[in-house]
Amino acid sequence: MGFEEKRVIMEVQKTALYNYHKNLGAKFVPFAGYEMPIQYKDGIVKEHISTRTHAGFFDVSHMGQFFLEGDETLIESLEKIIPADLKNLKINHSKYSFLLNNEGGIIDDLIITRTEKGFCIILNAACKENDIKQISQFLKKHHKHLLNNDLSLIALQGPKSVEILEKLIPGVANLKFMTGNNFEYDGENLYVTRSGYTGEDGFEISISNTKVEKLIDYLISNKVKPIGLGARDTLRLEAGLCLYGHDLNEKINPVEANLKWAIAKKRKEVGGFNGWEKIKNLLANGSKKIRVGIKPDGKVIARENTKIFSSDNNEIGFVTSGTFGPSVNAPVAMGYVKSEFSEVGTSIQLEVRGKKYGGKISELPFYKKSYVK
């Protein structure tokens, strides 16, 4: 896990739940300018397994909850930087997408949801300030926008999530994957989507900072464990999901990232977004390198920046995320290789501490997703 902080942060920020985490025995690390729990008393493996077998909650309030309001022209503005089909996105439906630069590179990956008055975009914590600058270039004066810091964001993930949350907030069980709605809780409105970053069924709950402790009290009384960034990383990697700043960055485009499925079909044909010329060409001809899953043959862990070699010893790529997958019960990794070596089953070598270890290109995800569609 590379949780290193690349930007210089003047002041460390804390989420509304900071003291709550402390009381739960959290170990904190600086992450994207925030003091965030990396793990609690149980440790990463137990946290990971309890999310897969019961349910876990994650404080992801460091992520940006960015709200936009406007008329039809708001859609035109956003579609210049986001390659999703926002015109045809229904109210309360969400899409995974990106902000793209002029070269088609990924400025950030995000979830965008259509709301009654516009859109809500969930942005990565380390990117959110720059993201807003980039989006703002395309906005018109009458478009309103707000990064709402009065809201916490709680992910509830795992097979028991639906049963537990439905008891507290009736109606959430009717949500399908990647849709959301407004609900009432304790006299306040909150917004719940059925989504997540673990490969499990679950929800993300946007709730005011003043009510979030009460929600967590309820979850804990239902044996939902707190889950830190450590297990968040092992869970998302097993599910084959990218971590921005590691698997994705501004020099990587969605075709190289093997995420072309996330560019809307209509947008692929018609274009009209940043970097389209380049992406159109890559869609037609393929990219030189591509993101793949990697399984080392033995127990060795190929972490970020591990060099990848072909079976005849030519350097062909590098690892961008690598760890031990507790549910796979083996090491797992993702990385970029030259496209001709990207076929599943291709034998590769991984250079760890100066020694070469065997491995194979693997299918993604490593762990079967169980979303409710």
Per CB under 8 A, residues contacting other proteins are 1, 38-39, 43-45, 230, 234, 299-301, 303, 323-324, 326, 331, 353
φ/ψ of residue 74, rounded to 5: -65, -40
CB of 198 to other proteins, least distance (A): 15
Residue 157 token pair? 């993930």
Q: What is the C-alpha separation between 253 and 279, in angstroms, rounded? A: 8
* Closer Cβ to other proteins, 38 or 89, answer by number: 38
CB of 245 to other proteins, least distance (A): 17
* Closer Cβ to other proteins, 105 or 331, answer by number: 331
Question: Cβ(322)–Cβ(352) under 8 Å?
Answer: no
Sheet holding 118-123, edge to edge: 94-100, 106-114, 118-123, 64-69, 144-147
CB of 318 to other proteins, least distance (A): 17
* Closer Cβ to other proteins, 285 or 329, answer by number: 329
* Closer Cβ to other proteins, 2 or 245, answer by number: 2
Q: How many C-beta atoms lie closer than 10 Å to residue 210's C-beta? A: 12
* Closer Cβ to other proteins, 194 or 232, answer by number: 232
CB of 45 to other proteins, least distance (A): 4
Q: What is the C-alpha separation between 168 and 174, in angstroms, rounded? A: 14
CB of 7 to other proteins, least distance (A): 21
Q: What is the C-alpha separation between 90 and 113, in angstroms, rounded? A: 9
Q: What is the C-alpha separation between 109 and 18, in angstroms, rounded? A: 26
CB of 44 to other proteins, least distance (A): 4
Amino acid code (one letter) for 263: I
* Closer Cβ to other proteins, 132 or 330, answer by number: 330
Identify the DSSP state of 62: T
Q: How many helices (H) and strands (E) does the chain have?
A: 9, 19
* Closer Cβ to other proteins, 22 or 140, answer by number: 22
CB of 71 to other proteins, least distance (A): 49
